[in-house]
Structures are given as structure tokens and as C-alpha cells.
Amino acid sequence: MPLSKRQVKEIAELLTGQIRRKLADYNPEPNTMPFHTRLLGKDRMALFSFIQSINTTLGASVFEQTAAIIASPNFKRAASQYKEFNDTISREAQRLIQSLMDDLTTGRITPDKAAETKRILAIAQSGAMQKVKRPRIDLFVESHEGVEYYFDLKTAKPNVGEFKEFKRMLLEWIAIRGALDPKAKVRTLLAIPYNPYEPEPYQRWTLQGMLDLKNEILVAEEFWNFLGGRNTYEELLDVFEQVGIALRPEIDAKFAKLT
């Protein structure tokens, strides 16, 4: 299903507003990197700093809000920065999660998200309950069939060592949700908005042994097309391109003053 005119407009306005705010507030401090500035020049360092700032903004808010805009017509519910989440977990579930992590780390078992989810939900209300920090859910969508999807959006190239903690987090989300309703149809996933290795496939082999690659991570087209349907990823890239073309004179004017 193609993006509607309303969705394109919302995404374009979101992106345009973010870029203009960055341009208005941007005040580079090249003296903090004097060697780089002398080597590469003030203009290049200013541009590099601005691009880094934009990259942070995309990862911190734009991708999440864009995902919610795309998902809204296709799901029962969709929200970025989802806050209606539980803050308790059972000690029995915590013990099981630690056991699963130990077995995955040592290779005694291979990742199987469906089986892991079933085991955690089965004991999610067993034993003493304790308070935990309420999870930060980047994106929540619920299908019309009642399946709840909880996404954590990650940068394009997370450190391989970080995926161990990502796995634990995804398992804990299941336990926290199950503490309220052990019959909930819950799926927890990582999403990576784009593939930095294109046109080569994303290097998923580095995640083998910890993540269930078919059921626990969506990259680039997989993520955006899951939310919006076939060709959503390509249409979204076109929206970003058109916004970039429209804003190019403003961006050039800003950096002309800095040069």
C-alpha cells in the first residue's frame, strides 16, 4: 500500500521542521578540534559537525515518529515513545532470563524467540514481583489481530558486543508485559532503519548465536515495509530526497556564512 498524500505531508513537515531547527540553532565550535580544523578547514569541520548532529536527530526522534506515521493506517494502534508499559517483573522470570542468557552465551542453546517467549510468559506472574525502571519503547504497534509489537530502534552499526544486552532487554520486555497479562500476544524486536552495507546484505552473521535472526530483528526494507506495506522503504527515501532538495538553498546559505 503506497504512502498516502497525508502521510507524505506529515513526514515531510516533520523532517523539514527538524532540519530548520537544527540550522537555526547550529553554532559550531571548531576550536574544540584544532588539529582537525587546521588539517581539513573550518568549512568542512562545520559541515561534518552539522551532519553528525542530524544523524543524532534522525536516530533519536525522526525515525520513531516517521514509523508511527507510516504504521497508523495499517495497525489498530501505533505510537512512538510508547509510555503505557508496565514497571514490574517476577523474580522467577528474571531467573529464567538469566538462565537463557547463560545458555545462549555458551552456545548450549540456539535462539528461538517463540520458545523463549512461551517459557517467559508461562512464569511471568510466578513468585515475588519487583519494581523495575519503566522501559523506553521507541515504537509500539498492535495488529488488528491483537499482536503487540514492541520495537527498539538502533543505529545502523551497533557494536557486536552490545547485542548481548539488547537480547536481555527484549526478553525482559516480554516478562514485564507478561506480569500484567501472561496471555498477551507479544513480540519484541530490534529495528535498524537502514542498511549501511547496501547493496550488500546486512552482516547478520555477526549476531548469530544471540538473536533469532528471522524473528527478532528487522533491517531497512524489512522494517519499513512491515509497517507500511510493499515499496514503503523506497517511497520513504523519495520523501527524504525531496525534502533535501527543497532545503538545499537554506543549508547552502547557512554554510556560506560559516566558510
Establish if 202 belongs to a structural domain: yes
Q: Are residues 211 and 244 in the same domain?
A: no
The reported pLDDT for the residue numbered 30 is: 52
Q: Are residues 198 and 80 in the same domain?
A: yes
70 within a domain of the structure (yes/no):
no
Structural domain of 25: 1-62+232-259
**Is the pLDDT confidence value at 8 over 90?**
yes
Q: What is the pTM of this model?
A: 0.90
Tally of CA atoms within 13 A in the half-sphere of 74 that contains its CB = 20
d(C-alpha 71, C-alpha 140), whole Å: 10
* Average pLDDT of the residues in 145-170: 89
pLDDT digit string, tens, across residues 42-101: 777 777 777 777 877 777 689 999 999 999 999 999 999 998 899 999 999 999 999 999
Average pLDDT over residues 206-222: 88
Q: How many CA atoms lie within 13 A of 67 on its CB side?
A: 34
* pLDDT score, position 29: 61
**Is residue 67 domain-resident?**
no
Q: What is the CATH number of the domain that holds 193?
A: 3.40.1560
E strand intervals along 14-156? 77-82, 88-90, 129-131, 137-142, 147-153
pLDDT attached to residue 255: 74
For residue 125, tell me if it sits in a domain.
Answer: yes
Q: Could you tell me if 194 and 253 lie in one domain?
A: no
Residue 217's nearest CA partner among 111, 76, 134 is 111
